[in-house]
Chain A
Amino acid sequence: MLSPITSVAASSLESPPEPARPSAGTPLAQAWRWLLTMADRFAPALAGIGLIVVWEISCRLFEIPTFLLPAPSVILSGAMEQSWSTWASNVWATIRVALIGYLVAIAVSIPLAIALASSRLLSRTLYPLIVIIQATPIVAVAPIMVVVLGTSDVPRVAITFLITFFPIVVATTTGLLATPEEMIELSRSLRAGRTREIFHIRLPFAVPYIFSALKISITLAFVGAVVAEFVAAEQGLGYFIQFATSFFKIAQAFAALIVLVAISLLSFQLVSLAQGLLVPWSLPKSER
């Protein structure tokens, strides 16, 4: 399950540089070539490990204060200060809000996009409203939403929804309207009707567009959840980061940040994986 970015990186390294040595075939040359192959295969992991090592050494060597940049070892021990159950409940709270908001956004956006693409009137009345919502800084709206919607998950889900739905609406509408004229004529020549035209032709045609947006929105969903938790929450990684920094526990805040990045990356990969399993045709041939 290669993401587009990693697969580009992989293909650029596809042929490891051949050692230009006259004695190819000797055990030494073979060992050299093996070393190069291994270096190529593990390059991303090695780069990551290298970064951590440099980070750790720099922090110790230059005695960087922990509140500016804690060393990886300090972050790890900071993370250990909290119990597993504390971590689990905070991680789960954030994932729950992000996923519910994301699913609600999908459930609302796709029918909304169909409506926008089908009716000029709806498109002319609803589209400006949608753009206004998108243009509003949701971070600024968040405190108001908490006052209006109370302190349950509802305002957090609503904030996540508001941040994630726009890319899905725009991409789906674009896909529905980008359907080639000849495909539509094929449908019309069969007199299959408007509904089948949408569900048999336009919507499948929009699937690659929809998945592009789903990949963008899944990472936005975690942005939304964390922003909501900053404003009002008693649980979640966003709340945890704020709590930790207010007590100057920078190492713990960093640990939560790293967990957030990991969750966000993992869910992005899960969406890519789902695309490969459910609608493999929508991927470029090289990524199937």
Chain B
Amino acid sequence: MTVPPPVIHFDEVSQVFSKKDGSAVTALDRISFDIAKNEFVAVLGPSGCGKSTLLRLIAGLIKPTSGTLQIYGLDVTEPRDEIGIVFQRPTLLPWFDVLGNVTFPLRHKYGRVSTDEKLRAQQLLELVGLQDFATKQVDELSGGMQQRVAIARALLLDPDILLMDEPFSALDALTRDEMSFELLNIWSSRPKTVLFITHSIPEAVLLADRIIVMTPRPGRVREILDVPLARPRSLQTLSDPAFHALANHIRGRLFTRIAA
């Protein structure tokens, strides 16, 4: 029995940006970790710790300055079809209706969308609970609904890997909790390798199998933690002592660092 390669493999990856004045900023400093198939991993850290840079590296939108970054054992050189991205803002296109936004990746990539594909988009809208909103304009939707459309769009090409860049950070607290459980439902019905970037400790603990805790300037991995909470997770999870113990542990770690 051979061990399959990790889905995402970081080995000593650094990212240095050069600013206009010639000085260099180290966004990520020697990052190493592996993510296994269908694992839900949260990347947690304060702003400025390079979380978004991490996501853009995996997405193939930027190239690492040094180190090895592989997906399925292959170096990442350009964006690939196995990856779906959900951005911080919904990033919907106002010139299409809701269904047009969900099918946009196909239209954009191949220039056309077949009836079958439209049907699949409609099923994805059902999955995110928006089956009755297909013909609505996007600005008629609330922030939470718009982000659901963005999730449906990211799932259209049925990616193995879902990258989420603080997708719920612009939502109000109640909608945010609701969306977290919604995401867990979607993930359990369509298992995928998820990399979820967040600066919310409870969100990371509630959602993830493992949490990569990062520290800022330069962005480094401080700690990688297993989340010992059973699945499926529910509202009860939020009152589980283990949930609070882990959240407090992380909080202590992050605040120590800031105090130091």
Contact = CB atoms under 8 A, between A and B. Distances in A.
Contact of A186 (B56, B85, B94, B107): B85
Majority secondary structure of chain B interface residues (helix, strand, loop or mixed): loop
A81 interface: no
A190 interface: yes
A52 B59 CA distance: 67
B interface bracket (residues with beta carbon within 8 Å of A): 20 to 34
Interface string A175-204: 000001011011111111000100011001
A207 interface: yes
A285 interface: yes
B139 A285 contact: yes
Contacts of B237: none
Contacts, number: 52
A190 B109 contact: yes
B89 A182 contact: yes
A190 B61 contact: no
Interface residues of A, number: 20
A186 B78 contact: no
A183 to B, nearest CB: 6
B94 A281 contact: yes
A200 B139 CA distance: 19
A188 B85 contact: no
A189 B104 CA distance: 13
B61 A200 contact: no
B19 interface: no
A144 B152 CA distance: 60
Contact of A187 (B78, B87, B95, B108): B108
B87 A185 contact: yes
A279 B95 CA distance: 8
A183 B93 contact: yes
Interface of A: 180, 182-183, 185-192, 196, 200-201, 204, 207, 279, 281-282, 285
